[in-house]
């Protein structure tokens, strides 16, 4: 929580309401006596007053010359008040004398405050107006001058909110980054042997893998100050503001003594200089130049370490990555099975889990998910449990949450007619049959004809943990993608538009097999990467044609050949398993969702011989 800004004398400034209270008090003191009635007693009309005088009931009378108010005391001790004329007539005054009424005239003296206020008040208003104008101008000037200050969030060293215990898995990353913690804790060990800890460490990895969490864990473990800022915080509409904020950021770190500066999404200011169309003098490049200068302006012995995170290291400026700046890159990859299991346990420890939940199985069924995806999966399962009215998160909730995250939310409002439902069942059965019988395909997990996301049906396979892929694997992947289109052609004799996404996926894989992975015998060991970063400006300004007309034609021919071969292969396999195709489709129409084991059982039942492989 930010403390209140002290005044010039070290005390908190006077609150704004106090000034208004003082002014109100002055007004009450000046004019209150004129508005608050000081008279007490029975209210009489002037005629009634004269009757009381004639009756001899009045003892004393006091006449106010300013307000014409007449107050007095009766013989019986009662008090009264009335209002008379501007001046007593001679007859009335004679009547008072004849009835032995003790009367006198009173002229009240005005309050000295009320006398001075009409003179002083205009001057006070003028002075107050000028003071208000001066403060407003100073506030605007102060806001302009503060534009160049860093927007970094500071976390105190005595309150580490995150440690390595909060980061599940990633033992290799922790081991690499532990050197920074040891240096900040015991720098003398490194000085004795003459070792130098890297000034900057760049955390590289896909989104959601916990790069920011790692940076905060380092600060928590080391027990030092932590300044967190994003790359976009340096950018402003004013020229030079980014460089000023970089200078102010490093000044804050030096005041802390030992500190960690964390710059998230550093690629927003660290892109290659001179690669864009904006020239070399724009605001982003000046900010980068200042960052490079500041990194060269301190030694590691000062106890300042810079951590940065990005998922685009390929677009960073080479000067930023040279030794002496960000001279160490630590890859934070997508979690493996054991790491996913640890992450699920961390996010499930404060949840009420049912007895049938098996996190080990769930970790195996979520390959390719990042830590953020797994956290979202656990939260979605909790939401499904609440919708069911359950007090615990059960296995069915995890299954529904995984289906929602991977395949999209179910579209309850979309209802297929009988013809569309059978066409979708045949289409998905074609994918499912090939996923079961092809030798290099991923294991089949589930098939459904319930509309989810943008799809009318989904065939879901679970990729195994692997890091390299063979040509046979990609060929089976393309063949499986063609299965829905081919199954409809075999059963109905015509095609529809339902295979658009399958064709897009198959064409992309075939193109990369030819252009990038050297899996075409005619093209040979040559690679043309189609994912060029044109927005950097380099290829836009310098590169010409990538391939000749003959090579481009050869690439297209080889891509087309692979697609046609796998389509024909899918046709042969599905024709051989036509009975199994009908059985799976009928089961889908009946149950709408079936698992991989059921598909395998139906395929085996349809085979004439148990030894037939079909692939």
Q: What is the DSSP string of 219-256?
A: HHHHT-EEEEEEGGGG--SSTTHHHHHHHHHHHHHHHH
For residue 542 the two structure tokens come to: 């310098």
d(CA 566, CA 559): 11
Class of residue 402 by CB neighbours under 10 A (exposed 0-12, middle 13-18, buried 19+): buried
Q: Which residues contact 433 (CB under 8 A, 6 or more apart)?
A: 483, 487, 573, 574, 577, 580, 581, 584, 599, 603
Q: Which residues contact 149 (CB under 8 A, 6 or more apart)?
A: 244, 245, 248
d(CA 430, CA 499): 12
Query: What are the two backbone dihedrals, phi and then psi, of residue 374, each rounded to the nearest 5 degrees?
Result: -70, -40
For residue 102 the two structure tokens come to: 């003790």
CA distances from 299 to 199, 217, 325 (A): 8, 23, 11
Query: What are the two backbone dihedrals, phi and then psi, of residue 123, each rounded to the nearest 5 degrees?
Result: -65, -35
Q: Of the candidates 324, 289, 302, 308, which has an alpha carbon nearest to the alpha carbon of residue 199?
A: 324
Query: Choosing from 283, 339, 428, 488, which is the catalytic residue?
Result: 428
Strands 102-106 and 58-64: parallel
Element (H, E) at 331: strand 326-331
Quickly tell me which residue has 């704004």 as its tokens: 16
For residue 537 the two structure tokens come to: 């400006």
CA distances from 479 to 350, 371, 388, 440, 523 (A): 44, 32, 40, 11, 21
Q: Of the candidates 436, 377, 404, which has an alpha carbon nearest to the alpha carbon of residue 576?
A: 436
Element (H, E) at 104: strand 102-106
d(CA 204, CA 176): 13
Question: Is there a catalytic annotation at residue 294?
Answer: no
For 100, other C-beta atoms within 10 Å of its C-beta total 9
Length of the chain (residues): 615
Please identify every residue annotated as catalytic: 428
């Amino acid at each position: 929580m930010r403390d209140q800004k002290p005044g010039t004398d070290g005390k908190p400034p006077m609150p704004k309401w106090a000034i208004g209270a003082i002014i109100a008090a002055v007004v009450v003191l000046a004019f209150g006596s004129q508005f608050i009635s000081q008279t007490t007693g029975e209210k009489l009309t002037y005629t009634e007053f004269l009757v009381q005088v004639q009756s001899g009931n009045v003892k004393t009378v006091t006449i106010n010359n300013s307000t014409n108010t007449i107050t007095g005391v009766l013989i019986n001790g009662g008090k009264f008040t009335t209002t008379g004329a501007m001046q007593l007539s001679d007859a009335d005054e004679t009547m008072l004398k004849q009835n032995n009424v003790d009367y006198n005239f009173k002229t009240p003296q005005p309050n000295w405050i009320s006398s001075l206020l009409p003179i002083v008040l205009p001057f006070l208003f003028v002075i107050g107006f000028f003071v208000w104008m001066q403060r407003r101008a100073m506030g605007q000037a102060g806001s302009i001058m503060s534009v160049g200050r860093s927007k970094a969030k500071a976390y105190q060293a005595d309150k580490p909110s995150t440690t390595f215990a909060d980061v599940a898995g990633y033992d290799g990353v922790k081991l690499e980054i532990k050197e920074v913690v040891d240096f900040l804790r015991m720098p003398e060990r490194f000085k004795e042997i003459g070792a130098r800890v890297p000034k900057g460490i760049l955390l590289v990895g896909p989104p959601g893998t916990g790069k920011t969490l790692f940076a905060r864990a380092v600060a928590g473990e080391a027990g030092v100050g932590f300044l967190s800022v994003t790359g976009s915080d340096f950018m402003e509409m004013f020229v030079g503001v980014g460089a000023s904020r970089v200078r102010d950021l490093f000044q804050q770190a030096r005041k802390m003594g030992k500190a960690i500066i964390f710059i998230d999404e550093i690629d927003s200011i660290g892109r290659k200089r001179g690669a864009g169309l904006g020239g070399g003098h724009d605001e982003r490049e000046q900010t980068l130049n200042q960052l490079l200068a500041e990194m060269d302006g301190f030694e590691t012995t000062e106890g300042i370490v810079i951590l940065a995170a990005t998922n685009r290291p390929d677009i960073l400026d080479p000067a930023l990555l040279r030794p002496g700046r960000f001279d160490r890159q630590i890859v934070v990859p997508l979690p493996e099975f054991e790491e996913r299991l640890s992450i699920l346990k961390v996010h499930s420890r404060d949840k009420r889990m049912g007895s049938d939940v098996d996190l080990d199985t769930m970790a195996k069924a979520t390959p390719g998910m990042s830590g953020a995806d797994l956290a979202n999966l656990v939260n979605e399962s909790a939401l499904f449990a609440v919708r069911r009215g359950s007090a615990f998160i059960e296995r069915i909730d995890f299954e529904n949450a995984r289906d929602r995250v991977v395949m999209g939310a179910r579209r309850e409002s979309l209802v297929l007619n009988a013809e569309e439902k059978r066409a979708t069942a045949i289409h998905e059965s074609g994918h499912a049959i090939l996923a079961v019988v092809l030798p290099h395909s991923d294991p089949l997990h589930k098939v459904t004809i319930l509309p989810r996301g943008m799809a009318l049906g989904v065939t879901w396979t679970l990729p195994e943990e692997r890091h390299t892929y063979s040509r046979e694997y990609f060929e089976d992947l393309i063949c499986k993608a063609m299965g829905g289109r081919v199954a409809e052609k075999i059963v109905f004799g015509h095609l529809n538009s339902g295979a658009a996404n399958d064709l897009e996926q198959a064409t992309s894989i075939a193109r990369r097999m030819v252009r990038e992975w050297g899996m075409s015998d005619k093209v040979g060991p040559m690679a043309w990467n189609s994912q060029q970063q044109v927005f950097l400006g380099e290829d836009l300004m310098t590169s010409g044609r990538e391939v000749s007309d003959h090579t481009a034609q050869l690439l297209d021919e080889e891509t087309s050949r692979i697609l046609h071969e796998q389509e024909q292969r899918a046709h042969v396999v599905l024709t051989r398993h036509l009975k199994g195709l009908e059985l799976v489709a009928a089961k889908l129409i009946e149950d709408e969702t079936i698992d991989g084991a059921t598909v395998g059982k139906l395929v085996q039942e349809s085979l004439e011989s148990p030894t037939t492989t079909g692939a």
